[in-house]
Chains A and B, each alone.
Chain A
Amino acid sequence: MASDDPTLDDELPLWRRIPPQFVKDLNTDTVRPTSQAFQNLPGKMAFSVWISSVARAHNGSPDDLVAGHEGYGAVEFTAGTARELGQAVSREPEPDQPAHGHVTGRKSRKTRSEFAKRSAWLIKP
């Protein structure tokens, strides 16, 4: 399991792209991502995020996170929220995306539900 990066402050926002299939209409004026939007990648113990401070340092924005993904939304939650839910937060830069990171750990159904409830929309689908 990736170790938690203490240089990523608890207050630091993490961004995650949400496909339109993961959005629920709650029969009110609100929409919410489903808990399934916070499931680990197939075969891995982590899901991907963008680390906002790194993205901003490279002039990146939430709009860039969804660029090329029609109909997608984006949410944010803090690194501290991820840690409260028993997860490790780490930098996992990729050649074309220095802001890429991982939220690593077992995600129970309750954990995934909490991610859904504690996330805030940056871009609504």
Chain B
Amino acid sequence: MQAAALLSEADVLRFPEGPTTSLSIQEAESPTWVKEFADRLNELLELPADWDSYGALPVRVEAAKGAFELLVEHLSDPSTPAPQVVPTCHGGVQVEWHQAGIDLELEIMSASRVGVFFEDVKTGEVVEADFMRDLDQIRSWIRLLSR
């Protein structure tokens, strides 16, 4: 098996350390995009060093695991729209939404290190933070995406 993660038939996001670090997808309570999200994270874990041709670092397992935990365990209300998922050149994962006049970006280095950018183009409100722990605030922003 390659070093990067694989998504099994049982819809489990698995990480190189082995099954003790796997995270199960609770299908009945999850939005429809969760499996696609897990697939995308696994793709990002396959990226080699310098995947952007400018010297980017490989995506860290802690970042993919943190993104999975944050989105699937804490922010996966059935009404949460599917996020865009991109790697960062510093080894992280960024999930983002751009709709309804809202730009919301969560830059995840690990489960405990999440940076946030929020902009409401209608009101001009901008919030930036390198460490964001207020999940209720993030949920309130996500709800704006469906307004």
Contact residues of A with B, CB < 8 Å? 17, 19, 21-22, 24-27, 32, 34-36, 39, 41-42, 47-48, 69, 72, 108-110, 113
Contacts and interface: CB of A to CB of B under 8 A. Distances in A.
B21 interface: no
A42 B55 contact: yes
Given A21-B44, A42-B56, A109-B128, 16 more contacts: A17-B54, A19-B53, A24-B96, A34-B84, A34-B94, A35-B105, A36-B87, A36-B107, A39-B88, A42-B89, A69-B53, A109-B107, A109-B115, A110-B117, A110-B126, A113-B103
Interface of B: 44, 47, 51-57, 84, 86-90, 94, 96, 98-99, 103, 105, 107, 115-117, 119, 126, 128
Tell me what chain A mostly uses at the interface: helix, strand, loop, or mixed: mixed
A62 to B, nearest CB: 15
A22 B126 contact: no
Contacts, number: 66
A26 B89 contact: no
Given A21-B87, A110-B117, A42 B57 contact: yes
B63 to A, nearest CB: 12
Nearest to A66: B53
